[in-house]
Chain A
C-alpha cells in the first residue's frame, strides 16, 4: 500500500490504520462507559425520546443499506442474470457484515443485551412487530453467514464442505428474500403503533411497503456505491471477470434502481393521497418532506435514467451515493426527525457526541473487517481451483 511497504519495510502506521485505530480506541472507551454507567451517561436519550441514533442509524439505516445481499443474489440466482455474478460475493459480504453490526450495535442500545434471546427462548411476544424483526434478523444473519461460507472455505481449501455450501445457494437465496421482505417491511411497520407521535406525512398504513420498496433501491445503490469504493481501493485484488463485468453491473443496477425509485415515488404520493395530507405539504415539515420526496427519490430516479441512457458511469455512481444518502434521510426522518414532532423543541432529541462517536466506531469496525476479508479471501476474484464451475 504505502511506499514503505513497497520497499519491504513493514509499518503499521499507515493513514488507514492510524485513523481507524484512533476511532477504535475511542470506541472502546465509550463502550466501557456505556456498560458501567448506563445509557444515561453516554446518550441524550430521555423518557420522551427512548430511541436515538443507535436505533435510527445503526439499526434502521444499517438494515436498509445491507439490502444489497438479497437484491443481488435474487437477481443472479433467481432471475438468472448471470452477467452480474461477480457482484454477488461483495454484496453478500457487505450484507453479512452489515447485519452482524446491527446486532452488535443493539447490544449497546438495549438494557440487558444478554437477554436478546429471551423473545425466542423464554417468552414469545408474537403480537410485536419487533418480535418478527428480531426473528427475521437472527435467521437472516444465519442465512447470510451460510451464503458467504464458500469464500472462506475456498480460502481454507476445504473443497468438500464448500461443495455442500454451494449446493445450498438456491434454497438460501429464496429463504433470504423471504426473510428480507419480512423484516425490511416490518421495520417500517414498527411505527404503525404510534400514529399520534409520527408526523402524518411519514405515518401511513403503507409504511411497511415504503420500507420494503426503498430497501430494494437502497440495496441496488449500495452495490454500485460499494463497488465504486472497492475499485478505488482494491482494484489490485480484482480478476478480469470482475473488472469486465463491473460496467454491466453499474448500468444494470442503475437501470433497476431508476425504475424502483419511480415506483417508490408513486406509492409515496399515494401515501399522501391516502391520508389526505396535501395541505400539510405547505408546512415546514411538509417542505422537508418534499425535499425527501423530490430531492432524494424523484431526482435520483431521473438521474439514474439519464445516466443509463447516456452510459454515463460517473453520473450513475454519484446518483448511487445520493440515493444512499436519501435512504439515510428517510430512515432518520421516520425514527427521529418526524417522530415526536409535536413535542416542544426543548424536549426534542439530538444525539450526544458520544452516541455519534459510537456509531462511527461501529461503522469503522465494519470497514476494517471488510478490508481484512477482501484482502484474504476470494471476494473480488475467483479462486484458481474453482474457476469454470458455474
Chain B
C-alpha cells in the first residue's frame, strides 16, 4: 500500500481535529431527504426559451411588484447580466455561447431547494419548505439579519435596503398562493414557448430524461437541479454547458444543512464536557497549591525541629561551659585567697 504525502497530511489533520468538528454523525447516517413525495417543481428547458420576458411581466403582476423603468417588452435590458432583486423575483439573461449562432436565454429565480440553505440558517425559521415544493418566507418573524442571502448558493434572496424599519427578504414563492388553489405559477402560465413545465418533481425528471434520450444532439446529458445542493424543485436542461450560461457547476451534491451539521453537533459535546474538563483543570491547580503549601509547612517544621535540637545542644553546651568557667574562676579565686592567706601567715 502506498500512501501519498497528501493523503498522509489529510489523515493527520482528520485525526487531530476531526474529533472536535469533523464530519457530523448526521453525514454518516442513512437518512437522505429526497423531497416531499408528490411535491411540485418546474422544469426549465433552456433550449426553448426565446428571451421574451413574458414570465418577468407575469411574475411582477401576480406578486404586485413595482413596474421597472423600462417596460417588460424592452429587450435591451438583456444586454446586461441581471440577478433577482427586491423588485424582480425572476429575470431572464442572455448569453452568447461560442459555437452557437443564436444566443441562449436562461430564466433565473429561486430554485426551491429540497433542503434549502436559507431555511437551514434562519434563526427564526422564517423560511419553510412546504409540501408543495415551494420555499416560502414569513416576514412577520424576520429580524433582517440577511444570513439567508449569505447562505444561498444561487444568490437569490434580495433585501429591501431602502426600507428603514420594515425591510423584508424578497424572493420567488413558486406562486405558493396560486399553487395551493390549483393554479399554475404565473411565469409557467405566461410562457409562450413551453420552456417551463410545471408538474410533480418525479415526473419532471422523467420528462427531462426522455427529452435528453430522444434528442441527444440537442441536450447536454445533465439535469441541473436533480442533485445540485442535494436537489432542487426547479430543474434545468440545456444545450450548452451550464457553466457557460451563468450557472455554477461546482456546487456539489451535499445539501446545505449537512455543511453545518458537524459544527452544530459539537455544541452539546462542548456543553457537556467542557465544564468537567475545566473543573478538572481547576482541581489540579488547586491541589498543586495545597500540596505545595503542605510541603512548605513540612519543610519549615522539619527545619525548625532541627534548629530547636541544635539550639538546645548549644544552650546546654553553653551552660556547661559557663558553669565550668564559673567553677574555674571560683577555684582561681579560692586559690588566690588561700595563697594570700598563707603569705600573710608567713
Contact = CB atoms under 8 A, between A and B. Distances in A.
A170 B252 CA distance: 47
Interface stretch (B14-22, B42-50, B93-101, B325-333): B14-22
A273 B141 contact: no
A310 interface: no
B85 interface: yes
Given A178-B278, A267-B17, A40 B162 contact: yes
Interface stretch (B210-218, B230-238, B280-288, B311-319): B280-288
Contacts of B271: 178, 182
B167 A38 contact: yes
B220 to A, nearest CB: 21
Interface string A165-183: 0000010011101100110
Interface stretch (A11-19, A184-192, A297-305): A184-192
Contact of A195 (B124, B259, B274): B259
A125 B167 contact: no
Interface in A203-242: 205-206, 208-209
A161 interface: no
A110 B122 CA distance: 13
Contacts of A109: 145
Contacts of A384: none
Interface stretch (B61-69, B187-195, B201-209, B261-269): B261-269
Interface range for B: 35 or more
Interface stretch (A72-80, A91-99, A152-160): A72-80
A127 B121 CA distance: 6
Contact of A270 (B16, B23, B141): B16
Given A40-B162, A47-B149, A119 B123 contact: yes
B285 A80 contact: yes
Contacts of A175: 275
Contacts of A170: 282
A173 B145 CA distance: 30
A36 B163 CA distance: 9
B175 interface: no
A8 interface: no
Given A134-B123, A196-B251, A40 B141 contact: no
A267 B9 CA distance: 11
Given A41-B162, A123-B141, A205-B262, A181 B274 contact: yes
Interface stretch (B106-114, B152-160, B296-304, B334-342): B152-160
Interface range for A: 35 or more
Contacts of B84: 47
Interface SS of chain A: helix, strand, loop or mixed? Answer: helix
Interface string B241-270: 000000010111000110110111011001
Nearest to A49: B149
Contacts of A189: 21, 260, 263-264
Contacts of B239: none
A107 to B, nearest CB: 11
A38 B163 CA distance: 5
Interface in B114-136: 117, 120-126
A112 interface: yes
Contact of A205 (B21, B125, B155, B168): B21
A111 B169 CA distance: 10
B78 interface: no
Nearest to B252: A195
Given A134-B123, A182-B267, 19 more contacts: A38-B161, A38-B164, A47-B149, A47-B157, A77-B282, A78-B281, A111-B160, A118-B141, A118-B143, A123-B124, A127-B260, A178-B274, A185-B263, A186-B263, A192-B260, A205-B262, A206-B17, A270-B9, A276-B10
- A-B pairs, top 9 by smallest CB distance, nearest first, are A111-B144, A80-B285, A40-B161, A189-B263, A273-B9, A50-B146, A50-B149, A131-B123, A111-B167
